[in-house]
Chains A and B, each alone.
Chain A
Amino acid sequence: MRKLRLIALCIAMVAMLAACSSEGEKKGEEKAEAPAPAAKLVLGVAGAHSGDLASYGLPTVNAAKLVAAKFNAAGGVNGAMVEVYAQDDQCKPELATNAATKMVSEDVKIVLGHICSGATKAALPIYLESKIILMSPSATNPPLTQSGDYPNFFRTIAPDDAQAALEVSFAKSLGLKKVAVIHDKGDYGKGFASFCKQFIEKEDGIDVVLFEGVTPGAVDYSAVVQKIKSSGAEGVIFGGYHPEASKIVTGMRKKGLELPFLSDDGVKDDTFIKVAGKYAEGVYATGPKDLSSVPMNQEAVAAHKAEFGEDPGPFFSQAYAAAQALLTAVQRAGSTDYDKVTEALRTQYVDTAVGKIKFDAKGDAEGVGFSVYQVKDGKYAEVK
């Protein structure tokens, strides 16, 4: 048995070596055959392509392939054919640094990825050192852009706090002066509520009069409702999910408290309307922008269906947009020069699958993000 295992191990090692060498040979051949090294532009794609989170990473690879094919059909970028070079990180920070090192050694200049915030953060310093531009379709952790540490990082998805910023500006537009901020003590709900509180405190003419967490699953929330009432709040912002939200709204409305109720995308869910019933009417909730009306997105989804025979997975549109933005920026810059490409990303608008976008000084896309919805006649309708 032991011998057998040893033999198997040996075979595996030999096979690995053989694979490496054949790859090396191939590269050598390519180099020899390629008439000019500038004739190809490598678009790196890093993210979870295997493991539990592969369903988030693989749509990115598909998106990159589709965009690359589209650019190649139109004659490439600055005359160079786009080639997709994928590296798996399984959303693990330690593998992400490996992937980053691989990109550096392959001399890739633009990378689409990574998928997870943690992995992205681990890999960013390596990219920064080698002046590689990174654009993520899915890493929403706010400090990645806002810390200002990574001028080489961009993203086509709105950061976690963008929703809170929208919520607060919407609350202001409703004319609310005193707001009660309630959350469910969870990571997501409390995080969102804390951002709301921060942004409200920065604004003039609007104050947080109550900031509290409720216990999910508690028998009833009447005491919190009384507290909202006695705090003199003119509106309620809730961070959390729909079971608590529907209990609080029902409690408020039953006590005759007709204050505007604003919440997050954990509440922008049809179950909320079903459970809260008539009390759900008029509730506001923010949620991701509806992309189905963006023509470029429709085209991208159709291309995916034609090529892969199924509907695209999560973050596909954001990844498609990121690939478009990166390649367009290289085209506009005329080369893969770091300064010129980042300059192009920051200054010029580009039409993408998530709409017309440009990147701000910190790397967040302007023009993507969230919309406010309101329950009307038992359905969420976008507030324009």
Chain B
Amino acid sequence: MEYFLELLFGGLTRGSIYALIALGYTMVYGIIELINFAHGEIYMIGAFTGLIVAGLLTMLGFPGIAILAIAMACAVVWAAAYGYTIEKVAYKPLRGAPRLSPLISAIGMSIFLQNYVMLAQTSDFLPFPELIPEFDFMKGMGSMLSSSELAILTVTVAVCVGLTLFIKYTKLGKAMRATAQNRKMAMLVGINVDMVISATFIIGSSLAAMGGVLIASHIGQINYFIGFIAGIKAFTAAVLGGIGSIPGAMLGGLVLGLTEAFATGYVSSDYEDVFAFCLLVLILIFRPSGIMGKEKIQKV
């Protein structure tokens, strides 16, 4: 039983990270039907920003919890700026172009950002400080759930609830839903579509940056390539849940994380990816639009 719970929490933690990144994929797809392949690199840039800021603050002698908060905030702002810029540079000029062009532009952006960080920072692995302190009340949990895992889960739940409320009740949320349903009609009723698209990129990038800082602090190391695999997995999670659907991205992330954790725990870690992608194939055979996807996808 204890083993099961350990795997469950491990899977949920991993799934939460996938979900945080997958939200960005799914929102962008919902609004402009583009797979933003540079999104994984935003996650990586968030983690690097967190590392640099945390290093600076540690040198200046800030207390632990302040470092976490400021580093996280800086990572979110910086990554959001990147997300905004990427959209303006790589996707906006191609908005009227055939669907393949922005996709290729996205892949180019992804490779560019990887190489840029590799040259600007280093291709080596770097140690990442433990920003999340050991909580005292967690001692009794033993090895089942660590405080950084708890923090990741809490943040993800909070983000998901907040995002759902945001989309449902705010004016911008309403504009996003309208744009997702029909861009031309939204424009006609006076919604600033460009602003909505920028907002989507900014929100998605912020979430990915949060995920980046949290997981880097959890596993304690980063390098320029981490965005690639995390991005692919999060993209899978988004498709699994039904791309374009926000609850779908969260569910898809968790399902993928749990599948990997249980496949590792009860079968073998050799087959971790095999099971994850078999699950994807099965779901796509029986529910082509993903778990939460409807026949006509309810976007954003």
| A residues apposed to B, CB below 8 Å | 185, 212-215, 217-224, 226-227, 229-230, 242-243, 246-247, 250-251, 254-257, 271, 274-277, 279
**The one of A219, A254, A257, A271 that contacts B124, using a Cβ cutoff of 8 Å:** A271
**The one of B7, B127, B218 that contacts A220, using a Cβ cutoff of 8 Å:** B218
Bound complex: CA of A277 vs CA of B126, how far in Å?
Answer: 10
User: Which chain B residues lie closer than 8 Å to A255 at the CB level?
Assistant: 143, 146
B135 beta carbon closer than 8 Å to chain A? no
A256-B142, A275-B221 known; A219 vs B10 contact (CB < 8 Å): no
B270 touches A250 (CB 8 A): no
B11 touches A223 (CB 8 A): yes
Nearest CB in chain B: distance from A93 CB, A:
32
A212 touches B265 (CB 8 A): no
B215 touches A219 (CB 8 A): yes
The 5 A-B residue pairs with the shortest CB-CB distance, nearest first, are A223-B264, A222-B10, A255-B143, A217-B229, A223-B261
A212-B269, A275-B126 known; A229 vs B221 contact (CB < 8 Å): no
Residue of A nearest to B6 (CB): A226
A243 touches B261 (CB 8 A): no
User: Which chain A residues lie closer than 8 Å to B272 at the CB level?
Assistant: 215, 218, 223
A227 touches B230 (CB 8 A): no
A222 touches B273 (CB 8 A): no
User: Which chain B residues lie closer than 8 Å to A219 at the CB level?
Assistant: 14, 17-18, 215, 219, 229-230, 233
User: Which chain A residues lie closer than 8 Å to B127 at the CB level?
Assistant: 274-277
Residue of A nearest to B230 (CB): A219
User: Which chain B residues lie closer than 8 Å to A214 at the CB level?
Assistant: 269
Residue of B nearest to A213 (CB): B270
B156 beta carbon closer than 8 Å to chain A? no
Residue of A nearest to B261 (CB): A223
Bound complex: CA of A271 vs CA of B215, how far in Å?
Answer: 20
A224 touches B269 (CB 8 A): yes
Question: Could you name 8 residue pairs across A and B whose Cβ atoms are closer than 8 Å?
Answer: A220-B13, A220-B14, A222-B10, A227-B265, A243-B125, A250-B221, A256-B143, A276-B127
Nearest CB in chain B: distance from A149 CB, A:
33
User: Which chain A residues lie closer than 8 Å to B277 at the CB level?
Assistant: none
A219-B14, A219-B17, A274-B127 known; A250 vs B269 contact (CB < 8 Å): no
Residue of A nearest to B5 (CB): A226
Nearest CB in chain B: distance from A196 CB, A:
17
Q: Mark B3-29, 1 if CB is under 8 A from A, else 0.
A: 100110011011001100000000000
Nearest CB in chain B: distance from A252 CB, A:
10
A243-B125, A256-B143 known; A250 vs B220 contact (CB < 8 Å): yes
Residue of A nearest to B262 (CB): A223
Nearest CB in chain B: distance from A69 CB, A:
42
B41 beta carbon closer than 8 Å to chain A? no
Residue of A nearest to B127 (CB): A275
Bound complex: CA of A334 vs CA of B172, how far in Å?
Answer: 94
Within 8 A of A (CB), among B181-232: 215, 218-221, 223, 225-226, 228-230
B125 touches A275 (CB 8 A): yes
B87 beta carbon closer than 8 Å to chain A? no
User: Which chain A residues lie closer than 8 Å to B11 at the CB level?
Assistant: 223
A277 touches B220 (CB 8 A): yes
Bound complex: CA of A222 vs CA of B225, how far in Å?
Answer: 20
Looking at B146, B228, B269, B272, the one whose CB has the most chain A CB atoms below 10 A away is B269
B10 touches A226 (CB 8 A): yes
Residue of A nearest to B229 (CB): A217
A219-B17, A222-B10, A223-B261 known; A229 vs B125 contact (CB < 8 Å): no
